[in-house]
């Protein structure tokens, strides 16, 4: 099997590029620098824990969106702020609950 075919099969959904684009959108977003740093640090943690590229991309995108809705540093978010975000995305989104728990926001 040729190397290019192998690489295509390993990343046929182009997840590496999608993660790179998600991180570029994070850098270009208008959310505060503190939240950007936390999201990047969290993505690094996920990489260290061997989460898949697609999962890391999804978390970066979700956290970027949540940081935009929150419009304040994660560390200064109140419980009421977090509840408001959870209502917005739906209480049954286990990924969102997992993210909040991992960031110690709940």
Q: Spell out the per-residue pLDDT of the chain, length 106, in tens.
A: 444 444 445 667 789 999 999 999 999 999 999 999 999 999 999 999 999 999 999 999 989 988 998 889 999 988 888 888 877 777 556 566 666 666 665 4
Task: Please check whether residue 33 is in contact with residue 8, taking contact to mean a CB–CB distance below 8 angstroms.
Answer: no
Phi, psi of 92 (to 5 degrees): -95, 10
What is the predicted pLDDT for the residue at 6? 45
Q: Which two tokens stand for residue 94?
A: 């286990």
pTM here is 0.76
Phi, psi of 13 (to 5 degrees): -95, 5
Phi, psi of 93 (to 5 degrees): -85, 95
CA dihedral 30, 34, 37, 41 (to 10 degrees): -130
């Amino acid at each position: 099997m040729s190397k290019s075919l192998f690489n295509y099969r390993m990343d046929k959904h182009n997840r590496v590029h999608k993660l790179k684009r998600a991180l570029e959108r994070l850098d270009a977003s208008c959310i505060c620098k503190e939240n950007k740093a936390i999201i990047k640090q969290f993505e690094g943690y996920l990489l260290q824990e061997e989460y898949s590229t697609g999962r890391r991309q999804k978390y970066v995108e979700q956290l970027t969106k949540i940081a935009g809705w929150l419009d304040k540093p994660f560390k200064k978010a109140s419980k009421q702020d977090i509840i408001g975000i959870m209502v917005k995305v739906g209480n049954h989104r286990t990924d969102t609950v997992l993210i909040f728990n991992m960031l110690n926001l709940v």
